[in-house]
């Protein structure tokens, strides 16, 4: 369970740090793996359905991230002071 927690924290930090393009896919795969595991046990089907819905949301995040992340990078470069050339 500690390893599971570490993976989820790393994915959360990755998404929040602006790398949703990659970590969105990781989150979607992780949530689908959890859902498949729950479906194979035949128990907690409501939690499996929730995880599938969250995986679809993470997939959408990964698909939309390329449209948003370049704009954030562009704003960062524009806000940085321009160094004088010698």
pLDDT tens by residue, 22-35? 999 999 999 999 99
What global pTM score does this model have? 0.74
pLDDT-derived band of residue 63, with 50, 70 and 90 as boundaries? very high
Inter-CA distances, 64 with 3, 28, 50, 59, 80, Å = 28, 14, 21, 9, 26
pLDDT-derived band of residue 38, with 50, 70 and 90 as boundaries? very high
Structure confidence at residue 85 (pLDDT):
58
Structure confidence at residue 4 (pLDDT):
87
């Amino acid at each position: 369970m500690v390893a599971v927690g570490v993976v989820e924290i790393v994915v959360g930090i990755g998404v929040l740090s602006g790398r949703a393009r990659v970590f969105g896919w990781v989150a979607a795969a992780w949530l689908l793996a959890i859902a498949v595991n729950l479906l194979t046990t035949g128990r907690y089907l409501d939690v499996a359905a929730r995880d599938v819905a969250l995986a679809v949301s993470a997939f959408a995040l990964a698909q939309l991230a390329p449209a948003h992340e370049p704009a954030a990078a562009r704003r960062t470069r524009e806000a940085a002071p321009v160094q004088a050339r010698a």
